[in-house]
């Protein structure tokens, strides 16, 4: 499967042959759902915490004697039925929300989303991005140029989660140039994951020969 490659001025400079094992997988909603749910669960940090009857302060003595007062029997004001007492079966910060994800499932789900992005014309390949020094103005000009390509018009008008740029290696000048532009994220291709891709409208891959070498087909040797 061939796809066009553009330069920073949105001019076509050639074609790239994409691996069908990475960019031409059928949509599998069940697989994508399982992996996304697991990854989000693994990012979850327990915050809600309640104290049980053994953790609240006070209640070291019986509030009143057992018999003779005509009152209900109580052994401690820490009881869950007392105002200010412990909470029965409440949430605790010790709860573990993590889920195991099979490595092949995770990789295949990622490639499934990439394949759908390709079908939806939301993936763009740039031959390279060059900045002699960090320049937000030049980064904005690249965004303006790319938005002229058919299907990428929203890149200029969308305000949030517009695009994620996948680079073959860390480029400090590129990161600093784009960081002040809203809705743009820069990430190394090796660190790109399914959540990054789904959280942005477009995926822009710079220096595709180097970037795509990071993504091996499922089952391939590392």
pTM over 0.85: no
Average pLDDT over residues 70-84: 93
Average pLDDT over residues 70-81: 93
Maximum average pLDDT range among 29-43, 121-135, 152-166, 206-220: 29-43
First to last CA, the chain: 23
- Identify the weakest region by mean pLDDT among 113-127, 162-176, 205-219: 205-219
pLDDT at residue 222 tops 60: no
Label residue 157 by pLDDT band (50, 70, 90): confident
Domains of the chain, earliest start first = 2-43+97-212 (3.40.1370.10), 45-95 (no CATH)
Mean pLDDT of the chain: 91
Q: The tokens 């031409």 sit on which residue? A: 24
pLDDT (0 to 100) of residue 42: 94
Average pLDDT over residues 140-157: 91
Spell out the alpha helix ranges (H) of the chain: 20-23, 29-43, 103-119, 136-146, 154-157, 172-178, 194-198, 208-212
Average pLDDT over residues 162-170: 92
Label residue 67 by pLDDT band (50, 70, 90): very high
- Yes or no: say if 90 and 122 are a contact pair by the CB < 8 Å rule: no
Q: How far apart are CA 220 and CA 218, in angstroms?
A: 6
Burial class (CB in 10 A: 0-12, 13-18, 19+), 159: exposed
**What letters, b where the CB count within 10 A reaches 16 and e where it falls short, cover 57-96?**
eebeeeeeeeeeeeeeeeebbbeeebeebbeeeeeeeeee
- CB proximity list for 188: less than 8 A, separation 6 or greater: 166, 167, 168, 169, 170, 214
20-58 pLDDT tens trace? 999 999 999 999 999 999 999 999 988 999 999 999 998
Residues in the chain: 222
**Torsion over CA of 176, 178, 184 and 187, rounded to 10 degrees?**
-50
């Amino acid at each position: 499967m061939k796809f066009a490659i553009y330069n920073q001025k949105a001019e076509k400079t050639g074609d790239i042959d994409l691996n069908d094992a990475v960019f031409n997988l059928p949509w599998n909603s069940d697989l994508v759902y399982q992996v996304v749910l697991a990854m989000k669960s693994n990012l979850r940090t327990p915050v809600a915490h309640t104290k049980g009857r053994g953790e609240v302060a006070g209640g070291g003595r019986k509030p009143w004697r057992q018999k003779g007062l005509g009152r209900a029997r109580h052994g401690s004001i820490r009881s869950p039925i007392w105002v200010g007492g412990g909470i029965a079966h409440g949430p605790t910060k010790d709860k573990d929300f993590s889920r195991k994800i099979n490595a092949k499932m995770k990789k295949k789900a990622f490639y499934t989303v990439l394949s759908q992005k390709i079908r939806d014309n939301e993936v763009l390949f740039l031959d390279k991005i060059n900045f002699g020094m960090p320049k937000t103005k030049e980064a904005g000009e690249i965004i303006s140029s790319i938005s002229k390509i058919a299907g990428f018009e929203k890149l200029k008008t969308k305000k949030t989660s517009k695009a994620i740029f996948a680079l073959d290696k860390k480029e400090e000048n590129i990161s600093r140039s784009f960081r002040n532009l809203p809705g743009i994220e820069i990430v190394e291709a090796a660190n790109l994951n399914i959540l990054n891709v789904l959280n942005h409208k477009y995926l822009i891959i710079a220096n595709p020969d180097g970037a795509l070498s990071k993504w091996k087909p499922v089952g391939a040797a590392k």
